A = this chain, B = another copy of it.
Amino acid sequence: MKKSLGLLLCAALLSSASLAGPLEDQIRYRQSAYAFIGWNTARIKAQLDAAERYNKDQVSAAANAIAAAANAGLGSLYGPGTDQGTGWRPSRLKPEFFQQQAEAAQLAGAFNKEANELARIAAGDDLAAVKQQFARLSETCKNCHSRFRTRE
């Protein structure tokens, strides 16, 4: 029993599809990734809301962090069963996520696309364009939350 569990854990750790291992780790890493994204999103929003002290380097670094997280392969943290269980706190993923994989992939793809676009635009000097693109990115966050995340 112990041996097969060990083998299972090894297989889970080595598989490129589920490198995050046990369910609780997947949930905790997922919550960490989105909290990290949330921190960077909040920093960009604060800068856009006080544009007179806009710091391009900070916004660009935050946008790069969001894009790198979006590109990191967060999908591997959505293994079967991760709608149940507790990472830092109980998972808020709706079970529908696993029945609606095409829609989930489409929402994830939209997030990636807009995150990469924001990183590109934030490296430039067009503040209005950054603002517009940040709104587009935020929309993709909201779309996925309202579809696949339980309300608190």
Mark A residues whose CB is within 8 Å of B.
13-14, 16, 19-20, 28-29, 31-33, 35-36, 38-40, 42-43, 46-47, 49-50, 53, 55, 58, 61-62, 64-65, 67-69, 71-73, 77, 88-89
Contact = CB atoms under 8 A, between A and B. Distances in A.
Contacts of A72: 40, 61-62, 64-65
The majority secondary structure among interface residues of chain A is helix
A65 B64 CA distance: 9
A89 B47 CA distance: 29
A55 B16 contact: yes
A19 B43 contact: yes
Contacts of A43: 19, 73
A21 to B, nearest CB: 8
A67 B61 CA distance: 10
B42 A19 contact: yes
A102 to B, nearest CB: 23
A53 B14 CA distance: 9
B33 A36 contact: yes
Contacts of A64: 68, 71-72
A88 B31 CA distance: 10
Contacts of A65: 68-69, 71-72
Given A29-B35, A29-B39, A39-B20, A13 B71 contact: no
A129 B32 CA distance: 29
A132 B28 CA distance: 29
